[in-house]
Chains A and B, each alone.
Chain A
C-alpha cells in the first residue's frame, strides 16, 4: 500500500522559508504515470493546489504562488520537497502531499499524506 508522509517544521517565522518533505513508501516515485503534488488548506477553508513535480524533474506551479515556490524531487530517497519563501500569515495551513494520476480525460489524486500543519508566526 502506497503511503505518503509529510515532514518539516510546524512553525515558521514571517518572511522566512517554509520547507517540507514528502516521503513516499510502498511504491516508487520513478513512475511515468504520476505526478507528485503539494496541496494546502488554510484553517476553515478549501483545498488549494500549490504545484507538483514529475519524477524526471519537470515542475508545475500555481501562477499566483510561482514566484515563491520551488518543488523538487529526489528519486534516490523516494522523496519530493516544497519550499515556499517569504511566508506570511496567509500561508498558515495544513500542507498535504499527494500523488496525481493524469490521463487524457482528466486527473485525480489517489493517495494523500495525512497532512502537516504549518503556522506562520513570530
Chain B
C-alpha cells in the first residue's frame, strides 16, 4: 500500500477551481511532484519542486504544500484536464527512494 494518500476521485465543474490533495509523512521533508495520466498514455509531469511547471504545462496548474499535505490546484478546469493525477515524493522513511500516491480520478462536469 502507498504511504502517500490521495482521494480516489474528485469532480469539478467546467471552468471552476479544484484542489487535489496528497498526504504523507515524507511531504514534511520533501516537495511532491504531480503527474497527469490520460487513458492509454504515459504519465506527464505537471508540477515539481515548490511550484514549478515544465515547459508546455498551462499556468492553470499550480502546486502548494503545508505540513504533511501537498496540493495540486487547477484554476479554471478544462475538459481536457479530465485524467488521473498522481503525486510522488522521495521517501523519508529510509525504505526506498520513491513512492507514488494511489492516484485521483478527476472528472470535469
> A residues touching B (Cβ–Cβ < 8 Å)?
35, 37, 39, 46-49, 52, 60-63, 96, 100, 102, 105-110, 112-115
Contact = CB atoms under 8 A, between A and B. Distances in A.
B98 A106 contact: no
B55 to A, nearest CB: 10
B80 to A, nearest CB: 19
Given A46-B2, A46-B103, A102-B90, A109 B96 contact: no
A109 B102 contact: no
Contacts of B102: 46
Contacts of B96: 49, 60-63
Contact of A106 (B31, B35, B43): B31
A45 to B, nearest CB: 8
Contacts of A107: 30, 33, 88-90, 97-98
B103 A109 contact: no
**Chain B interface extent, by class:** 20 to 34
Contacts, number: 74
Interface of B: 2, 30-33, 35, 37, 42-45, 48-50, 54, 84, 86, 88-90, 95-103
A114 B45 contact: no
B97 A108 contact: no
6 contacts: A46-B100, A46-B101, A60-B98, A100-B98, A109-B88, A110-B54
